[in-house]
Amino acid sequence: MTTPNPLLEGLSDAVGFVGGALAGYWAGKLLGWNIFSAGYDNASIGAILLVGLGGGAGLHLARFWRGKQKSKDSDTPS
């Protein structure tokens, strides 16, 4: 059993979260929703929701990727 590399875990989580949040931000921009508009109208709330969902999905994808890498490493004969 190998010990997890905290640097790899932290960096992959950060890249996944930020990448997903940016994807959510740009999806909102394509829909015409502005996360930084004054007040909390429906479009602003929708944009905030997209950024949060995108960040969570990116974090999940990064952890899934790390799990695949771990299983690939353990499948190789030593």
Classify residue 76 by burial, with Cβ atoms within 10 Å: 0-12, 13-18, 19+: exposed
In this prediction the pTM is 0.83
- Please list the pLDDT of the chain residue by residue as tens digits (78 residues): 567 788 989 999 999 999 999 999 999 999 999 999 888 899 999 999 999 999 999 999 999 999 998 887 776 665
Is residue 63 a contact partner of residue 24, using CB atoms and an 8 Å limit? Answer: no
Q: Which of 51, 53, 71 is nearest to 63 (CA)?
A: 71
Task: Identify whether the C-beta of residue 46 lies closer than 8 Å to the C-beta of residue 31.
Answer: yes
